[in-house]
Structure 1
Amino acid sequence: MLRFVGCLICLCWQANFIYADIAKYADSIIEDARLRSPELIRKYGYPVELHSINAKDGFQLTAHRIPKPGAQPVLLVHGLEDSSSGWLLLGPNTSFAYLLSDRGYDVWLLNTRGNRYSRKHSKYHLLNPQFWDFSFHQLGIYDLPATIDYIIANTNFKQLHYVGHSQGTTSFFVMGSERPAYMKKILLMQALAPVAYWNNIDNPYYLLVAPYINALVRLFHSVGIHELPPENEVWRELAYQLCSFAFKNTCTYIVMELMGWDLNQFNDTAIPLILGHYPAGSSVKSFGHYGQTIHRKEFAKYDYGPLQNRKLYGSDTPPKYKLGNVDCKVALYYGNNDYLAAVKDVQRLSRELGNVVHDELLAYKKFNHLDFVFGKDVKKLLYNSMFEVMAKVESGLLTNENKSMGTIVTTRPKLNKGTTNYRSYLTLK
């Protein structure tokens, strides 16, 4: 049996290396994989500014700006383990940050605490456990309010557009629940793959880990691991080389198993580009909080156990977030094939939010969690709809009373052999 398993491992090893030998990457892909976000923006001919933002609890955040003074500001907030680069990697013709700038918006890209661009604190060194004592809760009550205030103070606008992906939506819902006064500063919140409830996910990997998440967090902390994955250039380079060149198929399989299978929209030639920027770093506690949400089937504050909960919250169990306080205009976008944001969970979220003006289940059936930022045809499948909703809100045509239900009618025309592009047409009912 051991000999058989060994043979299988050898065959997989050889297959991956053979495939890697055939695969060639464009020089621009390899170059962009090594560039940081500001360098990417400059390379493609856009102006860029770096802004340091101080959160009230001492974290020093970095925001990258594609400036257009006097234009309507838009704040983009990335997901877990991502950074500002997620809005940039597919280039000027596809990535959302560039498309917004081309349409005349003043674009702000936040890097939340703990990622590779926001790793400073006024009191704690990143090797101190206290530095990593945060989850999406702290992002919502500290990072987002500080950034919103900073943008408003540095522009002539009293409101801004907010676009969040995955954790960027979770932290916004926390801010709305705990600091509802900030909802008046949001012109429109657009939630891509919104994550609050996990009651209907059926991914076996998440369901297997969730019941043991508290024990796993304690285990990591007991051996001194507070960041996940630990930021280390050696490990980063090793992962980059292995997944880009040696085990490309295996790494693609793992990503699809965790995010949702959609090889049509996943450009595997961009793997080095993605791995050059991802994962960008976060805390073990962030994963722990999401694991608790899956296991408890509630969108609630962090569970420290009954004793500590009573000290912090006055009850044995953590309180639920008050989604009804999120009363700014909200647009929801979600996919049938997203392993982290199930359709029924997003629809429940839609019912509980205070002011949903647009609810869009994308009709492209394979749209997964990564397609919102890395899909080859994401501009046609999603972003064009978002631009229309933004325009309607800005002109006062879209309110809760005349809420729109967006659908994407997708057709597949005659294509040349080997082509996987889709044409899509937006219809708003």
Structure 2
Amino acid sequence: MLGKYIVLIWILLHSNFAYSDILKYNSSILEDAHLTTPGLIKKHGYKVETHKIETKDGYLLGIHRIPKPGAQPVLMVHGLGDSSATWVLSGPRSALGYLLSDRGYDIWLMNIRGNRYSRKHRKYIPLNREFWDFSFHENGFYDIPAVIDYILKRNEEHTQVHYIGHSQGTTAAFAMGAERPEYMKKIKLLTALAPVAYFRNLRTPATDFLKIHAQTLINLVRLFGIFEFPPEREVWNRLTYQICSFAFRNTCQYIMMLVMGMDSSQFNETLIPILTSHYLAGSSVKALEHYYQLLLTGGFYKLNYLNPTVNIRKYGTKYPPEYKVENIDCKVALYYSRNDRLTSHKDVQNLRKKLPNVVHDELLAYSKFSHLDFLVAIDVQKLLYDSVLRVMQKVDRGEL
């Protein structure tokens, strides 16, 4: 107990905030920072269910549902290190999960293997190296198909789901389409927010740094037996919550925008305690390595095991093959921006040329829209979600 007071005093003396700054966060915001996804949904008066779904390779995924039995199901898949909370954390007036539920959709919120809600396996535990042997490839090959099949089995009047992905949630869907094209018949519309597949035109200070140093850092953390990112997730979340919510709020806000795109006018800083508490929710070092390899090559390739013998055993070739994006023949809606520092609008446009069935292609008009804005921009409904809802409803009516 004494140690906590010492830390608090140190923060007060060495940080750039005044104690009165705590008052800028009302009790509701601070409460939301510590609620689980089901807790957030219940708080706002919506029904919620938790489902456990097993993949064919033994992972047990925790899926959250805002139920509308018999209604058109929508599967929403988060990005790297994120969780189901991302679709509801900004509240009923803004979060896409609530907006879709209010319009009569049956909402299913995904949690990919390894995050805080999906940390169980039939054989391994998170302390085992084998538990973390996955990237977005396994998310697309095992996780998403298992959840789609589960949803459709419980909604027999529907043969397709709407799919909405953000960032890695799009990469995994593209990997699924390339590797398991039979699942494209089960997707009514793939709505891709900030799509990530190619990196030929992405140039930022962060990506330049990663190209030089990422492999060394990956090798180093593995040398120390670290295969989860971030390691000691719960400790990390508590630390970032304390530091970013109160002590160094402006610094953390700047770092987030530096990585994802500068847009202070649409950044709702009152959400910082919620963002830092729910993110990072957990992923694997291997997932980061796979993205790093895409960044180096610029192409959309399977994982390179950096050993020709292993690659030959896995793929039949010395080098990993490209994903066959032409197999992604379901209807696709692309939403992307110029100010996104994690995916280039030029790369999305190149992806668009390869996809056979794009029914909507939207480079967002607001020039400062960032990677984070797709989820929590102050005016995200007007700038993005109204269009998403309109296109989904057109597809539902058979107009697209």
TM-score w.r.t. the length of structure 1 is 0.88
Residue identity opposite 1:83 in structure 2: S
Q: Give yes or no for contact 1:207–1:294 (8 Å, CA) kept in 2.
A: no
User: Aligned partners of 2:211 and 2:53: how far apart in 1?
Assistant: 34
| Equivalent position of 1:240 in the other structure | 241
Equivalent positions of 1:27-176 (< 5 A) are 27-155=27-155, 156-176=157-177
Residue number in structure 1 paired with 2:285: 284
Secondary structure, aligned partner of 2:81: coil
1:340 to 325, 332, 342: 342
**What residue in structure 2 maps to residue 205 of structure 1?**
206
C-alpha distance in 2 between matches for 1:210 and 1:116:
29
Cα distance in 1 for residues equivalent to 2:233 and 2:324: 38
Given that 2:237 and 2:278 are in contact with CA atoms closer than 8 Å, whether structure 1 keeps it comes out as no
Contact kept, 8 Å, 1:20 with 1:247, in 2: the verdict is: no
CA 1:369 to 1:19, structure 2 compared with 1: closer, same or farther past 3 Å? Answer: farther
**Partner of residue 421, structure 1:** none
Answer whether contact 1:191 1:332 (CA < 8 A) is retained: yes
Cα distance between partner residues in 2 of 1:371 and 1:21: 24
**1:336-363 CA distance string (max 9 Å, x none):** 1000111100000100112100000000
> Aligned partner of 1:96: which letter?
L
* Corresponding position: 1:25 with 2:25: yes
Residue 366 of structure 2 corresponds to residue 375 of structure 1: no
Residue 317 of structure 1 aligns to which amino acid in structure 2? Y
Q: Distance in 2 between matches of 1:170 and 1:294?
A: 13
Q: Give the unaligned 5+ runs of structure 2.
A: 1-9
Match of 2:215 in 1: 214
- Paired residues of 1:231 and 1:281 also in contact (CA < 8 A): no
CA shift, 1:369, in A, is 0.1
User: Which residue is 2:3 aligned to?
Assistant: none
Structure 1 portions without partners, runs of 5+ = 1-9, 399-429
Deviates more, 1:186-195 or 1:208-217: 208-217
Contact 1:20 1:246 in 2 (8 A): no
List aligned pairs for 1:176-191, cutoff 5 A.
176-191=177-192
More off after superposition, 254-263 vs 18-27: 18-27
RMSD: 1.6
Deviates more, 1:22-31 or 1:88-97: 22-31
The residue type equivalent to 1:101 in the other structure is: S
3-state SS of the aligned residue for 1:367? coil
- Tell me if the contact between 2:240 and 2:277 (Cα under 8 Å) persists in the aligned partners: no
Q: What do the CA deviations read for 1:57-112 (whole angstroms, capped 9, x no partner)?
A: 10000110000001000000000011000000110111000011100000000100
Counting aligned pairs with the same residue, the percent is: 58
Q: Secondary structure at the match of 2:303?
A: coil
- Which residue does 2:5 correspond to in 1? none
Greater shift in the superposed pair: 74-83 or 215-224: 215-224
Helix, strand or coil: the match of 1:359?
Answer: strand
The whole-number CA distance in structure 2 between the counterparts of 1:130 and 1:20 is: 47
2:260 alignment partner in structure 1: 259
Hey, what's the Cα distance between the residues in 2 that align with 1:291 and 1:128? 23
- 1:174 positional shift: 0.1
Q: CA deviation digits over 1:352-389, x for unaligned, max 9? A: 11210000000000000000111111011111001110
Alpha-carbon offset, residue 232 of structure 1? 4.0
Give the direction of change, closer, same or farther, for the CA distance of 1:386–1:116 in structure 2 (3 Å limit). Answer: same
Contact 2:152 / 2:160 at 8 angstroms: preserved in 1?
A: yes
Q: TM-score, normalised by structure 2?
A: 0.94
Q: Distance in 2 between matches of 1:211 and 1:307?
A: 26
| Residue number in structure 1 paired with 2:399 | 397
Looking at structure 2, the residues matched to 142 and 92 of structure 1 have their Cα atoms a distance apart, in angstroms, of 31
Query: What are the equivalent positions in structure 2 for 1:7-26 lying under 5 Å apart?
Result: 16-18=16-18, 21=21, 24-26=24-26
What is the DSSP-based 3-state SS (H/G/I as helix, E as strand, rest coil) of the residue aligned with 2:362?
A: strand
Task: Give, in angstroms, the shift of residue 221 of structure 1.
Answer: 1.3
- Aligned residue for 1:33, secondary structure, equals helix
Which residue matches 1:223? 224
Indicate the SS of the match to 1:276.
Answer: helix
CA-to-partner distance for each residue in 1:266-296, whole Å, 9 max, x for gaps? 1111100111211101001111100000011
1:296-315 matches, cutoff 5 A: 296-305=297-306, 306-315=308-317
In structure 2, the residue matched to 1:357 is 359
1:22 positional shift: 7.0
Contact 2:230 2:236 in 1 (8 A): no
CA contact (8 A) 2:261 2:341 kept: yes
State the AA in 2 paired with 1:375: A
